[in-house]
Amino acid sequence: MSKFRKNILLPIVAFATVFTTGCYEPLSVDEYGNCDRTIVIEGRITDGDSVSTVIVSRSVEATDTADCELVDGAIVLIRDDKGNSAQLENIGKGVYQTNNIAGTAGTQYLLTVEVEGDRYTSIEKMPQRFFIDSIVVEYRDNYTIFDTIGYYASVYTKQKSDTMRYYRIEIEKNGVLLNDGLSLWLYEESRMADIYKMTVPCTLNVGDEVVVSVYSLSASVYEYFSGLSKQFSSKYSNIQPPLINPNGNITPSALGCFQALSVIRSHFVVDGSRRKVVLVSQ
């Protein structure tokens, strides 16, 4: 049910034109100059999807009309710490996939990508699966002055932990992924409270068929998405600095991120109750 996020904006975040309130003066086109065509690698393996996907591309200059240059012909492999490995098939347009290696929480994965004689690697350990206590769907007619009246889904957990945990939530409504692209919906749980609550910032309607996916992220993946989110948000300041590429986990000198994610999903239909508790099968 989950959809792998397409490679949009990432290859050109270092070279994109900055739109501000007028307090920052963008560089002239000439100053972008002869920028490096950096390799961008985005990969994902989960314990809830049978297919693992890697997208390989190359960044483009700010004046280029294309978002990125998709790269075919690379050699892409995923190995785990149990001795299993798989070479991903290039299915075209920079996309590489395999269903020959399983995603398992607690397992460490090595991604290797070879492009035109250069080798890029990333190591990620898949976090333990998030435990959902319940999902509450409730109608709100005064959520905040910035939100729309309607139904909202909140995810609750009572899991005890002394360590910081990181999550990303995706929602499909009637078969459409609502937060593809830059609506990342990130959460961090420091365990300062006995009950942790994550309210998803989108409205639902009666009759909607909904799939909620909660992904557990490593600290490095959370840092990457958090940095990406800040670039395209104005809530941090009304004077935005020049765009800076988020810190990824691909070495050496490549943009992007390799994600090893555990996921828990819940399916439900909004039935019109003012408040409904959805029990989740773990």
Averaging pLDDT over each range in 11-20, 25-34, 175-184, 244-253, which range is the top one?
Answer: 244-253
Q: Write out the E strands in the chain.
A: 39-46, 52-58, 69-70, 75-80, 85-87, 89-92, 95-98, 108-115, 118-125, 134-140, 150-157, 165-173, 176-177, 186-189, 196-199, 209-217, 255-269, 275-278
Residue 240 has what pLDDT? 52
Q: Which residue has the higher pLDDT, 168 or 121?
A: 121
5 within domain boundaries: no
Helices marked H in 133-188: none
Please report, in angstroms and rounded to a whole number, the separation of the first and last CA atoms in the chain.
Answer: 16
51 within domain boundaries: yes
Residue 69 has what pLDDT? 86
If asked whether residues 161 and 269 sit together in one domain, one would say yes
Considering only 26-30, 94-98, 242-246, which range has the smallest mean pLDDT? Answer: 26-30
Residue 220 confidence class, pLDDT cut points 50, 70, 90: very high
Tens of pLDDT, residue by residue over 160-179, are 666 788 888 889 999 998 87
Residue 194, domain CATH:
2.60.40
Rounded CA gap, 135 and 153, in Å? 7
149 within domain boundaries: yes
Residue 39 has pLDDT above 60, yes or no: yes
If asked whether residues 119 and 149 sit together in one domain, one would say no
- For range 31-51, the mean pLDDT: 80
If asked whether residues 55 and 69 sit together in one domain, one would say yes
1 within domain boundaries: no
73 within domain boundaries: yes
If asked whether residues 104 and 156 sit together in one domain, one would say no
If asked whether residues 153 and 208 sit together in one domain, one would say yes
Tens of pLDDT, residue by residue over 270-279, are 998 899 888 7
4 within domain boundaries: no
Tens of pLDDT, residue by residue over 53-79, are 999 999 876 555 556 789 999 999 999
Residue 21 has pLDDT above 80, yes or no: no
Q: Which residue has the higher pLDDT, 224 or 34?
A: 224
- For range 148-153, the mean pLDDT: 88
Residue 251 has what pLDDT? 93
If asked whether residues 102 and 236 sit together in one domain, one would say yes
If asked whether residues 116 and 53 sit together in one domain, one would say yes
If asked whether residues 148 and 222 sit together in one domain, one would say no
In terms of residue numbers, what domain contains 254? 10-128+218-262
Rounded CA gap, 186 and 69, in Å? 28
If asked whether residues 123 and 42 sit together in one domain, one would say yes
Q: How many structural domains compose the chain?
A: 2
Torsion angles phi and psi, residue 109, rounded to 5: -125, 140
If asked whether residues 159 and 70 sit together in one domain, one would say no
Report DSSP state, residue 72: -
Residue 146 confidence class, pLDDT cut points 50, 70, 90: low
31 within domain boundaries: yes
pTM over 0.85: no
Rounded CA gap, 74 and 96, in Å? 9
If asked whether residues 40 and 144 sit together in one domain, one would say no
Residue type, 32: Y
If asked whether residues 58 and 143 sit together in one domain, one would say no
